[in-house]
Structure 1
Amino acid sequence: MPEVLVVGAGPVGLALAADLRARGVKVDVVDRRVDPGAGTRAIGIHSPALALLEGSGATDGIRERAVRISRGEARADGRVVAEIRFDSLRARHPYVAALPQSDTIAVLSALAPPVRRGAAVRSLHPGNDGVRAHLDDGTEIRAGVVVVATGWAGRSLVYRPGAVRTHAYPDRYVMADVAASGGPIARVHLERDGVVESFPLPDGRRRLVAWAGAAPVADADAFLRDAVTARTGTDLDIAGASSFGVRRAVAPALRRGRIVVVGDAAHEVSPIGGQGMNLGLLDALTLAPLLAPWVRRGDDAGLARWERDRLASARHAARLAFLNTLLGRAAAPAAHAVRTASLRTALRGPGGAVFTRAYAMRFDRAARG
């Protein structure tokens, strides 16, 4: 019987499993997906997560594959409004490590136990001495503790319908990874017609994300190509673009008996800026050192504080994501001018340092190193 069962083999579940394995905890991992997939979604790993990933040895592998973003630019009307210097952070990793999510999964998979794939958990039944996980194929897994890291789709394993209040924004975005120059600098173009974000990736590629309003996008490639040209003055060949919406949700609790919830299963924030994945990584990697004494000696000291801190961090990230969403919307000429001037003033001097720390998740309760 495993001491810990991790349900979900995305970056958050794998990071937890790899860390527990490094600590000598017997851990099993199951995932409903047969194939982990190669699609890239979240791409940026921030300094606090990189520091905590050192425990399993994952940081070195991530650094080898990633582009290190040391600074970013906020631009409007063809000019730099403000500069964000990640390399000014007092941290062991003063940068954002940008790499495809498939690469992050590859690094973590090499360190975590083998994943039992095609294993969908149907229900969880906690008891005094452990949890029984019932799978769709009729089998059962018993574990001392179960950690749900499934993303939002597995929320029903823990929470009653309606228990996690979810707000869907009207905004839609279009995203693609394309071959483009620009160096290791993140650029956010805050234009009248909406934001275009451009983040570097390995191998001379960049992640482009453009605000698309509230209406469905019929041709994502054409929309993104036109939006990038009109808002940044850059012509790019774009293929494989996709559109997505954003939601906000923060669960009221992260524990139910011996079941713990981490990552998007417990909270969703806008994916812009990688806040969601990093929140989940910090959930998992601050939980890991508390699990061995809990499953082995019944010592749950620290879990209540962990839960309070993680919920507070999730609420803070949700507020920041809401601000990002507001800033990224289209605006009338006068409102755009006021927004640009206000942002320039706010990010000048100490305000820029505060925003850098906030964007890099240095205000998260788990930030250290």
Structure 2
Amino acid sequence: MADVLIVGAGPVGVLLGAELARLGVPTVMLERRAEPGGGSRAVGVHGAALAAMEASGATDRLLAGARRVRVGEARRRGSSLGLVRFDRLRTRHPYVATLPQSATEAALAATAAAWGAPAVQRGAAVEALLPREDRVEVRGHVRDGMDGAAQAWEARIVVVAGGLRSRTLLPGDRFRIRTRRYSDRYLMTDAADLGDDGDRAVVHLDPDGVLESFPLPGSRRRYVAWMPPADDDDGRTARLRRAVAVRTGSDAAASAVTDATAFGVARSRLSALRADRVIAIGDTAHEVSPIGGQGMNLGLIDAVTLAPLLARWIRTDGDADAAGAALAALTVWERVRLRAADRAGAIAAVNTALGRPARSAGALGVRAALATPAGALLAHAYSMGFDPSTRMFATPRPRVPQGPVTW
């Protein structure tokens, strides 16, 4: 019987496995996918998450293959509205590290292996969690080629980190879901970077809708565009190409767009993160609009802050007082992470609203805000500064003396 069984080996689940291995807690990691996920998906790792992952060594691995975005700019039809200066934040990592999610997963998997975490059991489809008094029984299938064999596992604690569809595994009435769906639709691609923005992220607040542009390793760039509803899925590449041309003013940038994927957005979270020995984290626990890049970072901080509490709980065998204190700490963690999810969801909702077709008055409001101390507040918000758990990892950069130093 495992101490902790983790359902889902995306970035959040693998990071939790790495952290538990670092703390000496045996785990089992199950993943439905036969191979690690491809594609780009979430691309930004914020400074707060980078600071949280430093102790495991994951941060150095991530930064080795990432680009560092120190400045973001808001524009409207080629005219600058102002800057968001991550490089002026007094944090250990005053930038956003950008890299494809597949590279993030690979770096976290290498971290888990370095700490001796067991290999992920791939092709393992979990179908039911059956809580018992002192353990959780896990039922599912392990696929080998086209066949699947029934399999059962047992663990003292199960952590579900398999994304939205793994919510169906959560037992009992405690895990109620609150959901809000938005009508907004987006087109996205990663393309060769033929523009001249370099390491700068640019948000084009266009009359036709937002176009977000983020640099990626390998001289590539992520484009995300708000688009009106359309039924011509076959024409979405052409529509995104036109949006890039019009909203950036660069035909060269648009010419690099060779494909496009469509997605919608929603905001949801569970009413609780723990029911006795079953715990939910990451997208299973909370879904926020990807506009603003809060979702994966929220889950990464979930994992880092949960791991020591699980280790503490597991080591309380036979000590009722210690077990009670460990469970009380988990209750506090749950309350803090739900508050963090609500704040991230609110920030993402504001970003989503700003991304809709923009009137000139809205652009003028953004210009005015970025010209005041509110600009620093925006950088703080976008970098997960309002996540209450980040205080645990806040080691600010030393101030650089200005001018001669006298004693």
TM-score by length of 2: 0.87
Q: State how far apart, in whole Å, the 1-side matches of 2:336 and 2:169 are.
A: 23
Is 1:310 equivalent to 2:337 in the alignment?
yes
Report the counterpart of residue 184 of structure 1 in structure 2.
199
Report the counterpart of residue 173 of structure 1 in structure 2.
186
Q: State how far apart, in whole Å, the 2-side matches of 1:176 and 1:107 are.
A: 23
Q: State how far apart, in whole Å, the 2-side matches of 1:346 and 1:159 are.
A: 46
Q: State how far apart, in whole Å, the 1-side matches of 2:354 and 2:100 are.
A: 26
Q: State how far apart, in whole Å, the 1-side matches of 2:81 and 2:232 are.
A: 30
**Among 205, 220, 238, which residue is 1:222 paired with?**
238
Give the aligned residue type for 1:208: Y
**Among 273, 292, 303, which residue is 1:273 paired with?**
292
Is 1:61 equivalent to 2:61 in the alignment?
yes
Report the counterpart of residue 152 of structure 1 in structure 2.
164
Q: State how far apart, in whole Å, the 2-side matches of 1:251 and 1:348 are.
A: 38
Q: Is the 8 A contact 1:5 1:29 kept in 2?
A: yes
Could you report, residue by residue, the CA deviation over 1:173-201 in whole angstroms, capped at 9, with x for unpaired residues? 00000111421110000000000000000
Q: State how far apart, in whole Å, the 1-side matches of 2:25 and 2:311 are.
A: 6
Q: What secondary structure is seen at the aligned counterpart in 1 of 2:230?
A: coil
Q: What secondary structure is seen at the aligned counterpart in 1 of 2:198?
A: coil
Q: Is the 8 A contact 1:217 1:223 kept in 2?
A: no
Could you report, residue by residue, the CA deviation over 1:138-180 in whole angstroms, capped at 9, with x for unpaired residues? 2111111110000001001116699312221111100000111
Q: State how far apart, in whole Å, the 1-side matches of 2:171 and 2:383 are.
A: 30
Q: Is the 8 A contact 1:12 1:284 kept in 2?
A: yes
Could you report, residue by residue, the CA deviation over 1:91-149 in whole angstroms, capped at 9, with x for unpaired residues? 11111110011101111111223100010111111222121111134211111111000
Could you report, residue by residue, the CA deviation over 1:317-349 in whole angstroms, capped at 9, with x for unpaired residues? 111111111111114xxxx11101111112222
Count of residues in correspondence between the two structures: 365
Q: Mapping of 1:193-342 within 5 angstroms?
A: 193-218=208-233, 219-235=235-251, 236-297=255-316, 298=323, 299-331=326-358, 336-342=359-365
Report the counterpart of residue 23 of structure 1 in structure 2.
23
Q: State how far apart, in whole Å, the 2-side matches of 1:279 and 1:364 are.
A: 8
Distance of aligned partners of 1:216 and 1:317 in 2 relative to their CA distance in 1, 3 Å threshold: farther
Could you report, residue by residue, the CA deviation over 1:277-298 in whole angstroms, capped at 9, with x for unpaired residues? 0111111111111011112213
Report the counterpart of residue 401 of structure 2 in structure 1.
none
Of 355-364 and 208-217, the range deviating more from structure 2: 208-217
Report the counterpart of residue 365 of structure 1 in structure 2.
388
Q: State how far apart, in whole Å, the 2-side matches of 1:159 and 1:283 are.
A: 20
Is 1:133 equivalent to 2:138 in the alignment?
yes
Q: What secondary structure is seen at the aligned counterpart in 2 of 1:239?
A: coil
Could you report, residue by residue, the CA deviation over 1:63-117 in whole angstroms, capped at 9, with x for unpaired residues? 1000011110011131111101111111111111100111011111112231000
Is 1:163 equivalent to 2:176 in the alignment?
yes
- Of structures 1 and 2, the larger Rg is shown by 2
Q: Is the 8 A contact 2:58 2:111 kept in 1?
A: yes
Report the counterpart of residue 111 of structure 1 in structure 2.
111
Give the aligned residue type for 2:330: L
**Among 143, 156, 162, which residue is 2:155 paired with?**
143
Q: Could you list the runs of 4 or more consecutive aligned residues of structure 1 that deviate by over 3 angstroms after TM superposition?
A: 159-162, 214-217
Q: State how far apart, in whole Å, the 1-side matches of 2:351 and 2:16 are.
A: 29
Q: What secondary structure is seen at the aligned counterpart in 1 of 2:271?
A: coil
**Identical positions, percent:** 50
Could you report, residue by residue, the CA deviation over 1:200-251 in whole angstroms, capped at 9, with x for unpaired residues? 0001100000001233452221111000001111122212310101111011
Could you report, residue by residue, the CA deviation over 1:4-39 in whole angstroms, capped at 9, with x for unpaired residues? 111000011011111111111111100111111211
Q: Is the 8 A contact 1:48 1:366 kept in 2?
A: no
- Long gaps (5+) in structure 1: none
Q: State how far apart, in whole Å, the 2-side matches of 1:213 and 1:166 are.
A: 22
Q: Mapping of 1:43-62 within 5 angstroms?
A: 43-62=43-62
Q: State how far apart, in whole Å, the 2-side matches of 1:67 and 1:159 are.
A: 41
Q: State how far apart, in whole Å, the 2-side matches of 1:282 and 1:216 are.
A: 38
